[in-house]
Amino acid sequence: MHQPRSILMRATGLLAAGLTAAAFSFSLAAQTQAPATTAASPSVATPASAPAAPATAPPAVKPPINTYADNPYGLRALWEQGDYVAKITLVLLMIMSIGSWYVLIAKLVEQARMSGQAKEAQKAFWKADTVRQGADTLHKQSPFRFIAESALEATRKHDGLIGQVDLNTWVTQSIERAVATVQSRTQDGLAVLATVGSTAPFVGLFGTVWGIYNALVKIGSSGQASIDKVAGPVGEALIMTAIGLAVAVPAVMGYNWLVRRNKVGMDTVRAFGSDLHTVLLAASARRGEGARVVGVPPAATPVAAPVVVAAAPAPPAA
């Protein structure tokens, strides 16, 4: 009775131990497979989530490129890459341009001043009582006062050898010389414009030829004759011609414009001289009245000494 009971208890213990071992083995196997399933799950879910990919980010906005700062074919590159001949040519063209613009502006101011002085002469000079008083009403730098002073000087110095010349001829020559002096003053500076207008294109052409020569030498030494190697140096050389034309065209146009304005101004000066000549001759025709009009004392008329004629001696008596 005790032996079968012990056998049963042993069998029950072995069964419980086996079940415990089986349970432990199962739990260990479950824990080992869980990470593999977790790791394999993304690969399985990836095809399903592929259509729902996130939207692509917008491209970054690039800042605008300053093409003028790094322009290899501009004036800055021309100055930096040019030799001393090219730089001297550029400086010469710059000086010619500045000189022509200075002359153009200065002559325009001078012509405007002369036009105002002409209006002043028409208003004040001819209303004076004498030529002297009329000249005093004009500005000291006025060309019309210079002509009036020259005419008055001619009437005062009509003596000596000059007195042998007709007063009409002498006054006419004096006024003509004064008018010629005024015309010479109005033409000051026009030679600069004429010179710049005629020579600036050739100076620019010289710079172009010299630049092309240097460009070809550099291209030949480098052995590369592609369009990007030729376009830059040759284009920079052609800028010289453009600069020469930009200097010459304003000079030529300004010269023609100033010559036309000088012609109009000199017509007014000649008309003033002609009227003044008429007034002086009319005054000289009337000595007494002319002295009041001209404003100078009349020349003293020399009184001839009486001539005493000696009586012929009587013949001796027979």
Residue 54 has pLDDT above 60, yes or no: no
Per-residue model confidence (pLDDT) at position 154? 84
Question: Does residue 218 register a pLDDT over 60?
Answer: yes
Q: What is the mean pLDDT of residues 188-207?
A: 92
Task: Tell me the three state secondary structure of residue 157.
Answer: coil
pLDDT at 307 over 60: no
- Position 78 scores a pLDDT of 66
Q: What is the arithmetic mean of pLDDT over 108-126? A: 89
Per-residue pLDDT at 205 exceeds 70 = yes
Q: Please check whether residue 245 is in contact with residue 94, taking contact to mean a CB–CB distance below 8 angstroms.
A: no
Rg (CA), the chain: 56
Q: Which range, 51-55, 143-147, 156-160, has the best average confidence (pLDDT)? A: 143-147
Please name the amino acid found at residue 128: A
Average pLDDT over residues 29-40: 46
Highest mean pLDDT pick, 74-88, 92-106, 211-225: 92-106
Q: Do 209 and 177 form a contact (C-beta atoms < 8 A)? A: no
The whole-model pTM stands at 0.62
Most confidently modeled of 34-48, 124-138, 150-164?
A: 124-138
Q: Which two tokens stand for residue 160?
A: 């000596």
pLDDT band, residue 312 (cuts 50/70/90): very low
- Closest-CA residue to 100 (of 264, 244, 262): 244
Q: In this structure, are residues 296 and 231 in contact, taking their beta carbons and an 8 Å threshold?
A: no
Q: What is the pLDDT of residue 121?
A: 87
Structure tokens at 189: 């500076």
pLDDT of 112 higher than 80: yes
Residues 269-288 as b or e (16 or more Cβ within 10 Å = b): bbebbeebbebbeebbeeee
**For residue 128, what pLDDT band results from cuts at 50, 70 and 90?**
confident
pLDDT at position 36 is 44
- pLDDT at residue number 17: 55
Q: With cut-offs at 50, 70 and 90, classify the pLDDT of residue 198.
A: very high
**Position 303 pLDDT exceeds 50:** no
For residue 305, what pLDDT is reported?
Answer: 43
Start-to-end CA distance of the chain, whole Å, equals 248
pLDDT, position 67: 46
Q: With the C-alpha atoms ordered 187, 189, 191, 197, is the resulting torsion angle positive or negative? A: negative
With a pLDDT cut of 90, the percent of the chain lying above it is 24
Quick one: what percent of the chain has pLDDT higher than 70?
A: 61
* Per-residue pLDDT reduced to its tens digit, 232-255: 667 777 888 899 999 999 999 999
Of 67-76, 182-191, 212-221, 299-308, the poorest mean pLDDT is in: 299-308
Q: Is the pLDDT of residue 262 over 70?
A: yes
Report residue 37's pLDDT band, with 50, 70 and 90 as the boundaries: very low
CB 170 within 8 A of CB 158: yes
27 compared with 283, residue with greater pLDDT: 283
Secondary structure letter of residue 138 according to DSSP: S
Mean pLDDT (the chain) is 73
pLDDT of residue 240: 85
pLDDT at 68 over 60: no
